Amino acid sequence: MRLSKTYTAFGLLIFLLMGSLLVAFSPDLPQQHTQAKSQCPYGTKLISENFEGKAVCEISGVLTHDLHLSSDLYWALNGEVHIGVDRVQNVALSIEAGTTVFGKTAKDFLVVNRGSKILAEGTKERPIVFTSKNDAAGLVAKPGEWGGLVIAGEARTNAKGGENSFEFSKKPIYYGGDNDDDSSGVLRYVLVKYAGHIVYTAKELNGISFGGVGRGTEIDYLEVYKGKDDGIELWGGTVNLKHIVLVDNGDDNLDVDEGYRGRIQYLYSSQSVEDAFYARAVEADNNELEHDALPHTEPIISNFEFVGGGYASEAIMLKNGAGIRLLNGKIKEFSQSCLAMESQSTLTNNMVHVQAVELEGCQSLYYGKKLPQESVEKIFTKEHSVGEDFDPTLVINPQSFDPFFEAVDYHGAYKNSNDWRIGWSILY
């Protein structure tokens, strides 16, 4: 029996449709219309198809949903980028090993608000990099080409009322709370380069600004290189740091205040900037307005090396009632002094402890700004083995102060036979 042309055409149409469905749903056949690899995720936008061989996705405004940054793309910050909404909406920003995030101007910076997290877990072979556009493009870069990284947590500070806001934002970015075990996420094998911005006089963005960040946050293998202001500043909080490299940041490599009480082990600081009037390895304050405010600033730093040069003035300056405990360290080649303090409250609070620290090549070992020199030297030398009394055989066990620390048998930030900076730091 012969079929009509109508039935024949209909059958052919059914056959073609079935074939299309088989192709579309067969797991063994390639898809014809997959998204391009350069497609940017929801909440970001594509601004370049080819920047140094990769597409660029731009992040701006307030991120209100979780976002994953992959290493097959570049990620550009546009302005003040907020992760989450303070105490309202918690968001996780995860960053894959080998990823580069850059800012295009000094006004581009990243803020992780209270309750939200940054999960940046690089590796020795593939660190995560936060830097400027010039540096990402392989061009000559300089300090201050982008803003920096800001992390706000819920740990205690000694600011009035227990919380404060960062000094550099047009709108308040609050930090501080009552949870010293709070977690803001992870920074592991992370490089921060050419950051910092002077927003107003004495109100600057740093390489990384930590405000009230708790000890539940993991910071390990972190480098801040050639920032315009401080490398790292910690306002209060209890976050611990391990394997830290700070190089040529325009003010202090490390600045602690407002009741910071964390522990730091394996800290290398090199400070040879030529365009800063004061450049220190460490500056510590308790509270500028209330020198006896609680909790006191009193970090413990074990196994460190602070190297001066250029216009680097004091290796360590303690101010406004600050305390500190320094163990198993080396300080050398600072143009003014190795250990310095100012403010009568710093002497009165008597919370400065220096043990097993070698001092050499400084213009003076101890210095008191507007303070009796004899009293200052007495504070710095009340423990054994420091400065002229240094005993190279004496090593303090930092675990006797906190289980965070690893047991050591040497002074300085690293052993020559096992230098943890090799393989990921810009220095190598």
Task: Place 124 in a pLDDT band, splitting at 50, 70 and 90.
Answer: very high
**Mapping DSSP to helix (H, G, I), strand (E, B) and coil, where does residue 338 land?**
strand
> How many H helices and E strands in the chain?
4, 28
CA distance 324 to 339: 12
Quick one: which of 287, 293, 189, 198 has its CA closest to 250?
198
pLDDT of residue 275: 66
pLDDT tens track for 138-169: 999 999 999 999 999 999 999 999 999 998 87
Provide the pLDDT confidence category of residue 79 given band limits of 50, 70 and 90: very high
Please state, rounded to an integer, the average pLDDT across all residues of the chain: 90
How many Cα atoms are found within 13 Å in the side-chain-facing hemisphere of 140? 0
Cβ neighbors of 369 (< 8 A, separation 6 or more) are 340, 341, 342
Rounded CA-CA distance 224/232 in Å is 7
The type of residue at 131 is: T
Give the separation between CA 167 and CA 217, rounded to whole angstroms. Answer: 23
293 token code pair = 């405010």
Do 386 and 356 touch, CB atoms closer than 8 A? yes
Position 362 confidence tier, pLDDT thresholds 50, 70, 90: very high
Per-residue pLDDT band at 368 (split at 50, 70, 90): very high
For residues 401 and 303, what is the distance between their CA atoms, to the nearest angstrom? Answer: 14
Percent of the chain with pLDDT strictly greater than 90? 83
Which pLDDT score, from 0 to 100, does residue 311 have?
80
Q: What is the mean pLDDT of residues 95-119?
A: 97
Q: How far is CA 373 from the centre of its chain?
A: 35
The full set of domain ranges for the chain reads 47-400
Q: 66 with 91: CB under 8 angstroms? A: yes
Q: What is the C-alpha to C-alpha distance for residues 326 and 303, in angstroms, rounded to an integer? A: 8
The contacts of residue 375 (CB under 8 Å, 6+ apart) are: 347, 368
pLDDT confidence bin for 170, thresholds 50/70/90: confident
Residues, the chain: 428
Mean pLDDT for the stretch of residues 224-231:
95
Give the Cα separation of 195 and 222 in Å (integer).
Answer: 14
What integer pLDDT is reported at residue 85 of this predicted model?
Answer: 97
* All residues at 6 or more sequence positions from 184 whose CB lies less than 8 Å from its CB, including other chains: 112, 116, 117, 118, 151, 152, 153, 213, 214, 216, 217, 239
Model confidence band, residue 32 (pLDDT cutoffs 50, 70, 90): very low
- Give the pLDDT confidence of 18-28 residue by residue, as tens digits: 444 333 433 33
Flag whether pLDDT at 310 surpasses 90: no
Q: Please, which pLDDT band fits residue 384 given cuts at 50, 70 and 90?
A: confident
51-60: average pLDDT? 97
User: What's the confidence (pLDDT) of residue 417?
Assistant: 87
Q: Which of 161, 147, 271, 264 is nearest to 209 (CA)?
A: 147
Residue 366: per-residue pLDDT:
96
Residue 189 is encoded by which pair of tokens? 């094998």
Torsional sign, CA 259, 262, 263, 268: negative
Read off the pLDDT band of 296 (50, 70, 90): very high
The residue-averaged pLDDT of 171-190 equals 97
Give the pair of three-digit tokens for residue 188.
């592991």
The pLDDT assigned to 202 comes to 65
Distance (Å, whole) CA 227 – CA 408: 31
The encoded tokens of residue 274 equal 């030529």
Three-state DSSP state, 379: helix
pLDDT top residue among 200 and 392 = 392
Task: Count other C-beta atoms under 10 Å from residue 60's C-beta.
Answer: 16
Contact 322, 348 (CB under 8 A): no
Q: Which tokens belong to 329?
A: 């360290």
CA distances to 34, 194, 252, 267, 361 from 330, rounded to whole Å, are 57, 27, 17, 10, 11
Joined tokens for residue 158: 């000694």
